[in-house]
Amino acid sequence: MTITSDDFLAVDVRVGTVLSAVPNAAARKPAYVLEVDFGPEIGRKTTSAQLTERYRPERLVGRQVAAVVNFPPKRIAGVKSEVLVLGFPDAEGHVVLIGVDHPVPDGGRLF
């Protein structure tokens, strides 16, 4: 399936810095509740993310991540999930986060 540039631009992918990461005790599959700062335009957002296989909470805090910020909020395991943090599966199917290799301002949009 091919898409147009307008289709691509409809998905708002931004960079943000993880402010906190705590286990989500209500999740059926192990997950963390993340609070991510997307800068002054978008602000702080929460999400539940299944990152426990490759990441520890203390290693997530301060890390910049990419996320879709224009999905409607959804309740996931008791958490108001406002964004979708992006990653790729490794050989075992565990999430490997998409990130930046140099610090960039929070809220920057993927283009």
User: Quick one: pLDDT at residue 31?
Assistant: 96
Using only the alpha carbons of the chain, give its radius of gyration: 14
Q: Is 2 left (phi over 0), alpha (psi -120 to 50) or beta?
A: beta
The Cβ of residue 53 has, within 10 Å, a number of other Cβ atoms equal to 12
Q: What is the pTM of this model?
A: 0.94
What is the per-residue pLDDT across 52-85, written as a single tens digit (0 to 9) for each?
A: 999 999 999 999 999 999 999 999 989 999 999 9
